[in-house]
């Protein structure tokens, strides 16, 4: 083995350590601060906590199942029709919900399914006496599927894209029907990544806060995250906040452990990758079904976004775009988002490379704890509430530096950490596939280090890297940051400005800013798609 390969586990370990320090440091510092303070701790670990813990799990599991169950056929349909009209635009649209602040999404969803929404208007127009009532579990599930169906679809699709073209050629030559193709070709790839994707969605939903409270209809719908916020913010009971965070972590690990059992890794064959082209000619029935599925996905995701766009267009966009604070916020968001995305990509790549290296080295032995940690551990950062990380580091740093000056660093690192699970899942299938195809060849030819990265890995990775960067940046663009406690006078992001206007009656301004935010995100996806494919083309052109 060459030196560069043996460095991979070290890189992975460092990446993991970084995340552990970010979350663990905050928790530890809070725990120390809490000692000697007055606390309720788990004293009221009563029926209330039990109830909200149960509700948290149930809504997250249901949201996850629904999102994944819909995403698998949708991703298959999108993959089977590379020439579906507007396909590229649909995929970009699917990245938008990620960048929308929860409140904007909630208002978009109510503009369709609410008591005064499009659906209600349709009922009225049809002379029906029904008012849609989504407040409760229904509303929560609609919102969570709105956020996660497009995400899951894109992630599954990126797995399907890593299937070598020869498979489809062969399947078509052998005259495989749809079911056989699914079972023999698609499922091994989907299944291998599915538990990870499901886990990611589960974690996103377990920490849901604004959506659960606003659409939940009352305190019956309360998540642990609400209790953590309440403990830290309203009650200033640090010990309780730490205990609840640990409880949330443990529950998540338990559920992920159960989920992990289902994803049996399959071995992958060796093939030279060209552009994915499907050779199968689906029968008309399948075509119609796939078309219907894609249309459903488009309508389901597109309508609330359209609602947001309509409200946004009612705003005085010209005035907004002539305001200096708006431009400053756009600039701040772009700079912070790009930094977070870059950092997140570096860490994710280290994790992905180390995991594949270890998996490759152990051959048929069961994965070690370290390998599993590389896979899942990084994602756990998502269930440590940003307010907890913020408070912990505030306490820790106030003795050494002015906490205000740390604000940009904290925003970037927390946003980067939160984006890692996404970036990791986008990069992993491509990296693993590329590695399994090239490892032996490269070893035979003695291609390693920089040369291998430039000639072999880069062409295969350029596109997923571009997509992962855009995703991570979109996620950071929509995020408010963790800096409630790191008050700082010089950073003001776009979502911050949006919520500030929303919080002072300026609803129209807020809608206009949401439109600008969505537009930025779409632009980002387009640039990433175009740029990455061009890069990949030039590189492979050079090779040939």
Partner 1 sequence: MRPFNTLVKSAILAGALALGLTAPAKAEGKLTVYTYESFTAEWGPGPKVKEAFEKQCGCTVEFVAVTDGVALLNRLKLEGPSTKADVVLGLDTNLTYEASETGLFAPHGIDTSAISIPGGYQDDTFVPFDYGYFAVIYDTEKLKNPPGSLKELVEGDPKQKIVIEDPRTSTPGLGLLLWVKSVYGDKAGEAWDKLKDRVLTVTPGWSEAYGLFTKGEAPLVLSYTTSPAYHIVAEKTDRYKAAPFEEGHYLQVEVAGQTANGAKNPLSAQFLTFMTSPAFQDAIPENNWMFPAAKTSTALNPAFETLVKPAKTLILSPEEVSKNRKAWIDEWLSAMSL
Site residues for partner 1, 497-516, by CB under 8 A, read: 499-500, 502-505, 507
CB of 493 vs partner 1, minimal distance in Å: 7
For 30, residues 6+ apart whose C-beta sits below 8 A from its C-beta are: 238, 241, 242, 388, 391, 392, 395
CB of 76 vs partner 1, minimal distance in Å: 25
Helix (H) or strand (E) segment spanning residue 259: helix 238-260
CA–CA distance, 536 with 523 (Å, rounded to integer): 20
For 263, residues 6+ apart whose C-beta sits below 8 A from its C-beta are: 191, 192, 193, 194, 195, 196
Helix (H) or strand (E) segment spanning residue 349: helix 324-362
Nearest to 96 by CA among 312, 381, 396, 398: 312
Nearest to 110 by CA among 102, 118, 100: 118
**Please, which residue, 223 or 436, has the CB nearer to partner 1?**
223
Q: Does 400 bind partner 1 (CB under 8 A)?
A: no
Q: Does 491 bind partner 1 (CB under 8 A)?
A: yes
Contact track, partner 1, 241-280, x by CB under 8 A:
----------------------------------------
Q: Does 538 bind partner 1 (CB under 8 A)?
A: no
SS (H, E, C) 375-439: HHHHHHHHHCCHHHHHHHHHHHHCCCCCHHHHHHHHHHHHHHHHHHHHHHHHHHHHHHHHHHHHH
* Residues 135-174 within binding reach of partner 1 (CB under 8 A): 135, 147
Q: Does 38 bind partner 1 (CB under 8 A)?
A: no
Q: Which of 168, 202, 229, 422 binds partner 1 (CB under 8 A)?
A: 229
Q: Which of 337, 386, 459, 466 binds partner 1 (CB under 8 A)?
A: 386
Window contacting partner 1 (CB under 8 A); options: 9-17, 101-109, 263-271, 342-350: 101-109
Window contacting partner 1 (CB under 8 A); options: 256-264, 387-395, 521-529, 532-540: 387-395
CB of 427 vs partner 1, minimal distance in Å: 21
User: At what angle are helices 458-478 and 403-445 packed, to 10 degrees?
Assistant: 160
Q: Does 107 bind partner 1 (CB under 8 A)?
A: yes
CB of 431 vs partner 1, minimal distance in Å: 26
SS (H, E, C) 218-235: CCCCCCHHHHHHHHHHHC
* Residues 186-225 within binding reach of partner 1 (CB under 8 A): 204, 207-211, 213-220, 223, 225
**Please, which residue, 344 or 493, has the CB nearer to partner 1?**
493
Q: Does 124 bind partner 1 (CB under 8 A)?
A: no
Q: Which of 2, 14, 116, 368 binds partner 1 (CB under 8 A)?
A: 116
Q: Does 379 bind partner 1 (CB under 8 A)?
A: no
**Please, which residue, 333 or 430, has the CB nearer to partner 1?**
333
Contact track, partner 1, 55-94, x by CB under 8 A:
----------------------------------------
Q: Which of 479, 520, 525, 536 binds partner 1 (CB under 8 A)?
A: 479
Q: By three-state DSSP, how is residue 271 classified?
A: coil
CA–CA distance, 225 with 203 (Å, rounded to integer): 12
Q: Which of 173, 274, 368, 490 binds partner 1 (CB under 8 A)?
A: 490
What's the alpha-carbon Rg for the chain, to the nearest Å? 24
CB of 190 vs partner 1, minimal distance in Å: 24
Strands (E), 17-145: none
CB of 250 vs partner 1, minimal distance in Å: 19
Query: Angle at Cα 273 formed by Cα 268 and Cα 276, nearest 5°?
Result: 100
- Residue 275 DSSP code: -
CB of 212 vs partner 1, minimal distance in Å: 8
CB of 422 vs partner 1, minimal distance in Å: 12
**Please, which residue, 88 or 334, has the CB nearer to partner 1?**
334
Outline where 161-237 has alpha helix (H). 165-173, 178-181, 187-206, 210-216, 224-229
Whether 199 contacts 256, CB under 8 Å: yes
* Residues 288-347 within binding reach of partner 1 (CB under 8 A): 324-325, 328-329, 332
Q: Which of 68, 203, 411, 514 binds partner 1 (CB under 8 A)?
A: 411
């Amino acid at each position: 083995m060459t030196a560069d390969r043996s460095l991979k586990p070290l890189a992975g370990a460092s990446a993991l350590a970084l995340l552990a320090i970010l979350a663990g440091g905050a928790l530890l510092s809070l725990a120390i601060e809490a000692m000697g303070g007055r606390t309720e701790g788990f004293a009221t670990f009563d029926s209330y906590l039990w109830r909200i813990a149960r509700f948290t799990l149930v809504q997250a599991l249901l949201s996850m199942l629904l999102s994944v169950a819909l995403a698998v056929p949708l991703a298959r349909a999108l993959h089977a029709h590379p020439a579906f009209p507007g396909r590229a635009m649909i995929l970009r649209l699917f990245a938008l919900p990620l960048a929308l602040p929860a409140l904007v999404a909630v208002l978009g969803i109510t503009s369709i399914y609410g008591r005064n929404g499009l659906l209600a208007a349709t009922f009225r127009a049809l002379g029906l006496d029904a008012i849609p009532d989504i407040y409760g579990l229904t509303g929560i599930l609609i919102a969570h599927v709105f956020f996660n169906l497009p995400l899951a679809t894109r992630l599954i699709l990126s797995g399907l894209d890593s299937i070598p073209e020869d498979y489809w050629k062969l399947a078509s030559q052998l005259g495989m029907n749809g079911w056989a193709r699914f079972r023999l070709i698609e499922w091994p790839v989907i299944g291998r990544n599915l538990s990870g994707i499901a886990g990611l969605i589960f974690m996103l939903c377990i920490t849901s806060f604004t959506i659960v409270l606003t659409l939940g209809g009352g305190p019956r719908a309360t998540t642990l995250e609400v209790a953590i916020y309440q403990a830290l913010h309203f009650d200033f009971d640090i010990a309780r906040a730490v205990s609840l965070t640990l409880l949330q972590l443990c529950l998540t690990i338990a559920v992920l452990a159960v989920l992990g059992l289902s994803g049996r890794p399959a071995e992958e064959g060796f093939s030279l990758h060209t552009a994915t082209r499907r050779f199968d000619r689906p029968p008309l029935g399948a075509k119609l079904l796939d078309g219907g599925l894609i249309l459903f996905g488009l309508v389901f995701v597109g309508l609330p976004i359209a609602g947001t766009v309509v409200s946004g267009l009612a705003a005085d966009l010209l005035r907004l775009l002539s305001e200096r604070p708006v431009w400053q916020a756009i600039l701040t968001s772009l700079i912070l988002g790009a930094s977070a995305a870059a950092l997140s990509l570096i860490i994710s790549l280290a994790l992905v490379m180390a995991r594949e290296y270890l998996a490759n080295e152990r051959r048929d032995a069961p994965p070690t704890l370290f390998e599993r940690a590389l896979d899942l551990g990084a994602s756990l950062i998502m269930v440590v509430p940003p307010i907890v990380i913020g408070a912990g580091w505030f306490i820790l740093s106030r003795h050494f530096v002015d906490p205000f000056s740390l604000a940009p660093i904290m925003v970037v690192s927390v946003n980067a950490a939160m984006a890692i699970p996404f970036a990791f899942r986008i990069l992993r299938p491509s990296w693993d596939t590329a590695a399994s195809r090239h490892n032996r060849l490269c070893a035979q030819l003695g291609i390693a280090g920089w040369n291998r990265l430039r000639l072999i890995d880069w062409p295969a990775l350029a596109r997923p890297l571009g997509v992962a960067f855009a995703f991570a940046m979109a996620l950071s663009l929509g995020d408010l940051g963790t800096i409630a406690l790191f008050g700082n006078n010089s950073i003001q992001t776009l979502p911050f400005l949006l919520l500030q206007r929303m919080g002072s009656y300026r609803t129209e301004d807020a809608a206009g800013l949401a439109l600008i935010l969505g537009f930025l995100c779409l632009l980002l996806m387009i640039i990433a798609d175009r740029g990455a494919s061009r890069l990949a083309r030039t590189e492979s052109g050079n090779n040939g």
